[in-house]
Amino acid sequence: MGEWRQVLNDWKFKACEEKEWLPAVVPGCVHTDLLRNGIIADPFYGTNEHDLQWIDKMDWEYQAAFDVEEQQLSASKLELVFDGLDTYADVYVNDTHVLSADNMFRSWRADIKPLVKAKDNTLKIRFRSPIQEDLPKLEKLGYSLPASNDQSDVGGLGDKKVSIFARKAPYHYGWDWGPRFVTSGIWREVRLEGWSGARVTDLFIKQEKVTAEEAQLSAIVEIEAEAVFEGVIRLQTGELFWEQAVSLIPGLNTIQIDAKIAEPKLWWSRGLGEAHLYTFTAELIRDGGAVSSKSVRTGLRSVRLVREKDEKGASFYFELNGVPVFAKGANHIPNDSFITEVTDERYRHEIFAAVESNMNMLRVWGGGIYEQPIFYELCDENGIMVWQDFMFACSMYPGDEAFLRSVQLEAEENVKRLRNHPSIVLWCGNNEIDTAWSHYSEDMGWGWKQQYSPELREKLWADYQKIFHHILADAVDAYAPGADYWPSSPLVSLTGDVNQHSHPLTTEGDIHYWGVWHAVEPFENYNVKIGRFMSEYGFQSFPEYSTVRTFAEEEDMALESKVMLAHQKNGNGNRLIKEYMDIYMSQPKDFPSFLYMSQVLQAEAMKTAIEAHRRKMPYCMGSLYWQMNDCWPVASWAGMDYYGKWKALQYYTRNSFRDTMISIERSDEGVVQIFAVTDALESLQGTVRARLYDFEGVMLKEQSVDISCEGNSSTVVLALNEQEWLEGRDATSVVLVSELIQNGELLDSKFFYFVKAKELQLGASSVTVAEVEGSGGTRFTVTADRLAKQVWLTSEQVGIFSDNFFDLVPGEVKTVEFRRRAEGMASGQPAPAGKVEARSMIDFLQ
């Protein structure tokens, strides 16, 4: 009896046609191994991406040697286990073929007991080129399938888009924010597993009914036995335990243990309570001794997606433990083009940023990967709800039997792998395919279906329905019963007619609104085009100068340079940033200033959107902007760049996602409305104060009002007549500052300008930064002698400030704290910033 594991290390690799073996790192991929061995240059630098497209046309080979101890050899079962092979791979143990893999998102196992010996075993893996593997499939199909973001031209394939044939991360083939690096390699752990007798292989804590009074649970325990087995299963969490006698038969056994916990500690999303976690352990016991065990950590909560008809359409919100939750967050993409380069620290930094930005949800978007375990563990611990897409995005897919079977196995395995995570509140079939195809309307969609005959259209739609209305839905129903499934984002509802497809003015389902950006609609449209749940919207900016210099030289500092265009994957992106800047902002004096101004522009756009969505609650109950992060240094929609540096957007997000905030909106009639918005469940009492200042800091007008608002609400608490407040003054040289004060504490403040930023009469402003005495270089006061817009603090050390890109009125003292980025950063400990410098918008203008 017993179990053991042995991780395989000491790898080498080569191109199949080469003779010389080179050292390899596993988990890893061909591109990163080539880089480490000095064979290729930095893939992210300059235009190097274009020079490295030969890699995905070749076959590659990995090899490792291993020994097996005699005691391990005596185990009844000995398996070779791959948690992830990317993607088309043939595996040989001691020159005997043991398995062929064809899906990056699955694990793979092979019984190798008859093949191994004590010493000098060899494991070889031959990775077939995903391009050469799939080009014949395209040829055989006889027509192309839509795949909007497959950058086949960059890969030297012309219009031959083959990404849809491979069950592989779609973004590897390029996206409108990412490069095309079609990787091959061993991207998750490889190990040997041995066991005898019986072993616990899976534990699922099924939450039948969870309330504050009682949690009714069913522990579903899977046990593999090699022979008849009589014993006991013991389920334990803390001091509580439940036991059940079991009689196992050879093969896979499924045992259910019912358990109840009185007055459980519930799992709450960030801002609503503690994200409490329980650890459950299932032990298989015989003759008083433990034979095998498995532990899982989960949170006890009730969650559902509420879609109920109302007078305006139908709701779309998440109810957690009986409470409607406004979802605040962003869309998450993989943190690197080369997945295995993402360290645990980088994951911690991202989730730390989400928590610090007052988010409570991240959407794992369908063009990347089912994320690594640490991602979900961090979301569990920090109360970040997860909207989990299956890995399908912006494409139509094949419908042959082999492909559908592969998708089914992938879905079942990943649902089983992730179902214990309390953070996952929704499974979603795909990103944007229902709306892109828009089967039931000739006038909607992205123009895809018009390329096909009526017969072929029906076939492609039938294949779509097999995957997204049946296979994936069935996997969720079978392996995560009770979890909600949403077939495609965005979607109105599965009506089977024209009413199914989402559009910006629909009053049901979720919406991806891209009129601002792609259609050059004004920012002001964010105040009008608001749905029940805004699951995507966004605006681009460049990363800061220090990041740009990691991929570009000084001579490349121009919007239309080859390098800058290579790091702008959205064809019109640079032109759109410039076009919007001309509308809203003054002209920057040089290219580094343009980078800064692009971030301010992006932040202002997203502030407009986020606050419009929150003001509209409970009609709108979700705001997830595109996007949280980057996979390489690039101009994109991200709030944090590839190196984790916060853009202006991330700081703005932190303020616009505050659990309790004020927000200002001007109506067409010239009424300035001040809203109090709170996600807290308790009622809000306090004082809202509005003050009008000129840019020299002279207060021109003031009004205060005591407020009392219900919890979880948005309420107009003060309405000001613009003309009465301006009293004929020049609107280009005054600012309205509104503050929310509770028990003498400033909870929030917002600045409101009556004209666009480019029309403001900004003058030279001197911003002074002073270290707070006794803070050890961790806290600073910031003051200005004239109105300073978007004050940008930079530090000698890498980290974040408690606030940044803020406006300052003369006479106001702003205190900020610095936290350095390090392994322990998520603990929130302040750290010395080193030298701190401050600049404001006037310093970047012509």
Looking at 751, 776, 806, which one is the last position of a domain?
751
pLDDT reading at 823 higher than 80: no
Whole-number pLDDT of residue 70: 87
Whole-number pLDDT of residue 828: 61
- Phi and psi torsions of 819, nearest 5°: -125, 125
Same domain, 616 and 743: no
Cβ-based neighbour number of residue 464 at 10 Å: 22
> What is the biggest distance separating any 2 CA atoms in the chain, rounded to whole angstroms?
92
pLDDT digits (tens, 9 = 90+) for 709-725: 999 999 999 999 999 99
Give ∠ CA 760-765-767 in degrees, rounded to 5: 130
For residue 104, being part of any structural domain is answered with yes
For residue 613, being part of any structural domain is answered with yes
Helix axes 573-584, 591-615, angle to 10 degrees: 80
For residue 693, being part of any structural domain is answered with yes
pLDDT digits (tens, 9 = 90+) for 247-275: 999 999 999 999 999 999 999 999 999 99
For residue 321, being part of any structural domain is answered with no
For residue 839, being part of any structural domain is answered with yes
Cα–Cα dist 184/167, whole Å: 12
pLDDT digits (tens, 9 = 90+) for 637-691: 999 999 999 999 999 999 999 999 999 999 888 899 999 999 999 999 999 999 9
Same domain, 739 and 772: no
Cα–Cα dist 748/129, whole Å: 55
pLDDT digits (tens, 9 = 90+) for 746-770: 999 999 999 999 999 999 999 999 9
Burial group, residue 829, by CB count within 10 angstroms (0-12, 13-18, 19+) = exposed
Q: In the beta sheet, which residues pair with residue 178?
A: 175
Residue 95: which CATH number? 2.60.120.260
Whole-number pLDDT of residue 830: 85
pLDDT digits (tens, 9 = 90+) for 406-421: 999 999 999 999 999 9
Whole-number pLDDT of residue 464: 98
Cα–Cα dist 474/446, whole Å: 28
Segment 318-335 mean pLDDT: 98
Looking at 606, 623, 656, which one is the last position of a domain?
656
For residue 630, being part of any structural domain is answered with yes
Nearest to 72 by CA among 112, 131, 21: 112
Same domain, 179 and 66: yes
Segment 817-824 mean pLDDT: 78
pLDDT reading at 826 higher than 70: no
Cα–Cα dist 269/380, whole Å: 9
Sign of the four-CA dihedral 609, 612, 615, 617: negative
For residue 757, being part of any structural domain is answered with no
> Any idea how long the chain is?
846
Whole-number pLDDT of residue 184: 98
Three-class DSSP category at 581: helix
pLDDT digits (tens, 9 = 90+) for 433-477: 999 999 999 999 999 999 999 999 999 999 999 999 999 999 999
Same domain, 635 and 570: yes
Count of domains observed in the chain = 5
Whole-number pLDDT of residue 188: 98
Residue 277: which CATH number? 2.60.40.10
Give ∠ CA 718-724-728 in degrees, rounded to 5: 140
Residue 360: which CATH number? 3.20.20.80
Give the position of tokens 């100068």. Answer: 545
Cα–Cα dist 234/219, whole Å: 10
pLDDT digits (tens, 9 = 90+) for 210-225: 999 999 999 999 999 9
Same domain, 345 and 266: no
What percent of the chain lies above the pLDDT cut of 90?
Answer: 96
Do residues 407 and 467 make contact, with C-beta atoms less than 8 angstroms apart? yes
pLDDT reading at 309 higher than 90: yes
Nearest to 697 by CA among 763, 759, 772: 763
For residue 305, being part of any structural domain is answered with no
Segment 809-814 mean pLDDT: 94
pLDDT reading at 824 higher than 50: no
Same domain, 649 and 663: no
Segment 5-10 mean pLDDT: 94
pLDDT digits (tens, 9 = 90+) for 583-642: 999 999 999 999 999 999 999 999 999 999 999 999 999 999 999 999 999 999 999 999
Show the tokens assigned to 571. 């064809």
Same domain, 79 and 201: no
Show the tokens assigned to 638. 């991200």
Segment 816-844 mean pLDDT: 83
pLDDT digits (tens, 9 = 90+) for 73-112: 999 999 999 999 999 999 999 999 999 999 999 999 999 9
Cα–Cα dist 449/442, whole Å: 9
pLDDT reading at 825 higher than 60: no
Same domain, 45 and 144: yes
| Beta pairing class for 190-196 and 198-210 | unpaired
Same domain, 640 and 677: no
Cα–Cα dist 176/773, whole Å: 47
Same domain, 46 and 138: yes
pLDDT reading at 165 higher than 90: yes
Cα–Cα dist 357/130, whole Å: 39
Q: In the beta sheet, which residues pair with residue 262?
A: 214
Segment 228-252 mean pLDDT: 95
Looking at 656, 684, 703, which one is the last position of a domain?
656
Same domain, 374 and 286: no
Three-class DSSP category at 410: helix
pLDDT reading at 123 higher than 80: yes
Show the tokens assigned to 11. 């790898």
Average pLDDT, the chain: 96
Domain of 784, in residue numbers: 762-846
- Phi and psi torsions of 373, nearest 5°: -55, -40
Same domain, 337 and 283: no
Cα–Cα dist 77/495, whole Å: 50
